[in-house]
Structure 1
Amino acid sequence: MNILIIGGNRYFGKRLTARLLKSGHAVTILNRGSSPIPDDLPSDAPHTVTHLLADRNDEAALESALGDRTFDVVVDQVCYTPRQAAIARRVFGPRTGRYVMTSTVEVYEYEDSATPVREEAVDPRTVTVDLDLPWDDGEFLDAHYGEGKRQAEAVFAAEPPFPYTAVRVAHVLGGEDDFTGRVEHYAHRVRAGEPIAVPAVNHPATYVYVKEIAEFLAWAVEAEFTGPVNAHSHGPLTTADICAEIERQVGGRTVLQEVEVGEVSPFSFARSYGMDNSRATALGFSFSHSAQWLAQALSETLGAR
């Protein structure tokens, strides 16, 4: 297949690129050029990566960069707002057979469910889209990350029908190139025995190994289903689970400090919105259990520091 990846040169995007190349697909990456194409892609793949430069927010520039190219599948790794989705839908509607958007568990930011959350809890066909919100403001976008993704999904889900899927990705762990700093946040405090702020009622959450989400996205590229799908490993994790493994690897002492108000640590949650992955499982993807990869994932990230 001929596949375009928008923004696919970082973290699990570069792992997806490597998998697709290994499988024999022709891959084009489109970005602004601020980050280079990974230089550790498989050398024995039948295709090399084509690189296109354009700002995906500039519709005219996007059209110009694409020329008359068409694609079997477009994988959008960096669609954060409904404005970006609207541009993508106009530009790629005539150019692709299927659109795979990387979404997030944070679309469920208003959920607090005693049972794992299924996709229908947020039906993008019922989400109101407001293109006039200040989506170009970085602070606004950071504060409304889940809302931006939810409204972007809604744009793709609107009539007339558009062949898309929104992969709602769980919290990702693993890799020496984890740029979030969340694991190191815990490691620093565990080494020093410093308090780790968590909510008084701290709920477990769903996670996925960085290699597994790349595998899932590669699988989704070759599939035909549409609509939202939750993507996460089996076995929710608590803050204590993650810290216990970090403590085993780096030494020190875990001190969880419950707080009623104020900022809490990453990977600690005052509400329950762990996802249900039964749709993806029924469609044919076999997820691993977090117990199988947690130690390796944390070791990769901590070993790079």
Structure 2
Amino acid sequence: MRNICVIGGSRYFGKHLVELEREAGNKVTVINRGSTPRLPGTTRLVADRDDERQLREALGARTFDVVFDQVAYTPEQAATARRVFEGRTGRYVMTSTMEVYDPATFAALPTGPEGPLLAEDRLDLAALPPAREPSRAGDAPDPATAYAEGKRRAEAVLLTDPAFDTVTVRTAHVLGGGSADFTGRLAHYVERIAAGRPVDIHADPRPTSFVHHEEIARFLHWTGSGTFTGPVNAASHGALTVTELCDLIAAGTGRRPRYRTVPGGGAASPFSFDRSYAMDNGRAARLGFGFGRVEDWLPGAAAEARADALVRTG
């Protein structure tokens, strides 16, 4: 039996991860702010991870074999975790995002025509420029840029001179789960296509990467048991453009998707991108993990979302 800590993990695929750890016979401690019920079979510690003193007090003298960090969004949070968990764990797994590769949020990754899938070494964390301080109140980055930049810098804190064996899992867009999917992005497409409403897309949409919510939980669980370190991409095989995504969703509705092209710079539906940054999952494969194919699990996930929509609408 191993001693596992999960920071966050109270919803969506984090709950699946906790379930997998429990099913493996491990002792699981979940750290959150106490706003959700305690997960069955776990020990819950209530603490604000941004408050280092409170986090240390909640942990007491506890140590862990593996820490899964589901909610590290900023370099400050990563630095706090690095200090607090140094000497408490031998392995630290941070859930990051494919958005770290988005050229629209990082000038060092130029936007260009569709190219090869991006491997982990495409992003040089050691070459990140100094963080830019807003010069005035209205100069703050947009939420998407702030999210991607926060994840890049959080990775850099944990992977530069690491205090423990560290893995940063760059997760593709997570789909599936019906009502459990709090993002509602798959439901957006399922409901629009079923109702015959148009989907807003770019004139030349580029492919992106996806992963099933249960698959990413299995990958995180598997990663916790490994010995490798560094960044690793987590994505199902088969990058899709938004129209390819809609075609797979529509296959179960008997309707053809309708599209509306947005003007240059306009806001499109989720997963419509005018730049390509789909991920190469080759490192995970070489390490021994076999991802499935999007085309195999997406129809089932779409059916689950349609069933959930029927329940909600009566």
| TM alignment of 1:87-166, pairs within 5 A | 87-110=80-103, 111=109, 112=111, 114-128=115-129, 130=131, 143-159=145-161, 162-166=164-168
Q: Which residue of 1 aligns with 2:312?
A: none
Q: Which residue of 2 aligns with 1:215?
A: 218
User: What amino acid does structure 2 have at the position aligned with 1:293?
Assistant: W
Q: Deviations over 1:5-39 (max 9, x none)?
A: 00011100000111111111111100001122345
What is the deviation of 1:161? Answer: 5.2
Matched, 1:266 2:270: yes
User: What amino acid does structure 1 have at the position aligned with 2:233?
Assistant: N
Within the candidate set 286, 301, 305, 2:305 is matched to 301
- Choose 290-299 or 55-64, whichever is displaced more: 290-299
- Choose 256-265 or 95-104, whichever is displaced more: 256-265
Structure 1 residues 83 and 9: CA distance shift in structure 2, 3 A: same
Q: Which residue of 1 aligns with 2:22?
A: 21
Gaps in structure 2 of 5+ consecutive residues: 104-108, 310-314
What is the deviation of 1:233? Answer: 0.7
Whether the 8 Å CA contact 1:196–1:256 is kept in 2: the answer is yes
Structure 1 residues 133 and 77: CA distance shift in structure 2, 3 A: farther
Instruction: Give every structure 1 segment of 4 or more consecutive aligned residues whose post-TM-superposition deviation is greater than 6 Å.
Output: 131-134
| TM alignment of 1:1-305, pairs within 5 A | 1-39=2-40, 48-110=41-103, 111=109, 112=111, 114-128=115-129, 130=131, 143-159=145-161, 162-176=164-178, 177-261=180-264, 262-305=266-309
Whether the 8 Å CA contact 2:249–2:298 is kept in 1: the answer is no
Whether the 8 Å CA contact 1:82–1:131 is kept in 2: the answer is no
- The separation in 2 between residues aligned to 1:189 and 1:292, in whole angstroms, is 22
- The separation in 2 between residues aligned to 1:284 and 1:35, in whole angstroms, is 35
User: What amino acid does structure 2 have at the position aligned with 1:147?
Assistant: E
| SS across alignment from 1:96 | coil
Whether the 8 Å CA contact 2:82–2:163 is kept in 1: the answer is no
User: What amino acid does structure 2 have at the position aligned with 1:296?
Assistant: G
User: What amino acid does structure 1 have at the position aligned with 2:152?
Assistant: R
Q: Deviations over 1:112-163 (max 9, x none)?
A: 45000010111223324639679xxx98655411110000001012225542
Q: Which residue of 1 aligns with 2:106?
A: none
| SS across alignment from 1:28 | strand
Structure 1 residues 129 and 25: CA distance shift in structure 2, 3 A: farther
Structure 1 residues 164 and 274: CA distance shift in structure 2, 3 A: same
Structure 1 residues 220 and 160: CA distance shift in structure 2, 3 A: closer
Q: What is the identity percentage for the equivalent residue pairs of Structure 1 and Structure 2?
A: 49
Q: Deviations over 1:235-271 (max 9, x none)?
A: 1122222222332334444112222321000011111
Gaps in structure 1 of 5+ consecutive residues: 40-47
- Choose 187-196 or 268-277, whichever is displaced more: 187-196
> CA-atom RMSD, angstroms?
2.1
Whether the 8 Å CA contact 1:7–1:76 is kept in 2: the answer is yes
TM-score by length of 2: 0.88
| SS across alignment from 2:252 | helix
- Choose 193-202 or 149-158, whichever is displaced more: 193-202
- The separation in 1 between residues aligned to 2:65 and 2:205, in whole angstroms, is 43
How many residues end up aligned between the 2 structures? 295
User: What amino acid does structure 2 have at the position aligned with 1:93?
Assistant: E
Whether the 8 Å CA contact 1:126–1:154 is kept in 2: the answer is no
What is the deviation of 1:197? Answer: 1.2
| SS across alignment from 1:275 | coil
- The separation in 1 between residues aligned to 2:142 and 2:82, in whole angstroms, is 23
- The separation in 1 between residues aligned to 2:131 and 2:158, in whole angstroms, is 14
Q: Which residue of 2 aligns with 1:43?
A: none
User: What amino acid does structure 1 have at the position aligned with 2:279?
Assistant: M
Whether the 8 Å CA contact 2:9–2:30 is kept in 1: the answer is yes
